[in-house]
A and B are shown apart, each in its own frame.
Chain A
Amino acid sequence: GEDVEQSLFLSVREGDSSVINCTYTDSSSTYLYWYKQEPGAGLQLLTYIFSNMDMKQDQRLTVLLNKKDKHLSLRIADTQTGDSAIYFCAESLTGGSYIPTFGRGTSLIVHP
């Protein structure tokens, strides 16, 4: 099976909260990331969390990490149409080499 799994689609109404979930398999993962990809663009790092943390908040974004269950989530408060994009979860190990393993991405569709 895949190392990082995400659901493929999420549809929410503008103004609601979005929660994108991700599970990973490597318990030695040290860094966990959320990237955003808008149409025709590369990936933009939204936020990341170290494995020794269980929560990180940055404005409208909240990342929750359940290390025991290897579950990561990204909550976007007050979701806007501009948040429509593909969101990728990724994990990587330490060791000085940045080789993250990505999930397949979750397409977030925000409708009025």
Chain B
Amino acid sequence: KAGVTQTPRYLIKTRGQQVTLSCSPISGHRSVSWYQQTPGQGLQFLFEYFSETQRNKGNFPGRFSGRQFSNSRSEMNVSTLELGDSALYLCASSSLSAGNTEAFFGQGTRLTVV
């Protein structure tokens, strides 16, 4: 079956703009999590969605938001971009069925803010 698909793979934006990233989970997976990966901070948890509801949220400012659709696809949005938002944004999907805690990651979206 198809893996987790993130689009676009690469993105260049200027400060002050906003950006929307997309994540299509593995078919049947209802949990989608987002992470920001930077050399300095490592992998930081942004938020998790399950059945269209945000279930968990990391310590990021309100400029970072997300949503999940009825087909489990998820988007994250970053408004008023700052240079420090340049990072690899990773999405992971999980079925969370009994005994299965594996998360499958997409290849990520590389965002560069100039």
Q: Which residues of A contact B (CB under 8 A)?
A: 31, 35, 40-45, 48, 88, 92, 96-105
Contacts and interface: CB of A to CB of B under 8 A. Distances in A.
A24 to B, nearest CB: 14
A1 to B, nearest CB: 13
Q: Enumerate the 3 nearest inter-chain pairs by beta-carbon distance, A residue then B residue, closest first.
A: A42-B105, A104-B42, A102-B43
Contacts of B75: none
Interface stretch (B12-20, B48-56, B66-74): B48-56
Interface of B: 4, 6, 31, 33, 35, 42-43, 45, 48, 50, 55-56, 90, 92, 94, 96, 101-108
A40 B107 contact: yes
Given A43-B90, A88-B43, A104-B42, A98 B101 contact: yes
Given A97-B55, A98-B31, A98-B101, 5 more contacts: A42-B4, A42-B90, A97-B50, A98-B96, A99-B45
Contacts of A103: 42
Contacts, number: 53
Nearest to A35: B105
Given A40-B107, A98-B33, A31 B4 contact: no
Contacts of B48: 97-99
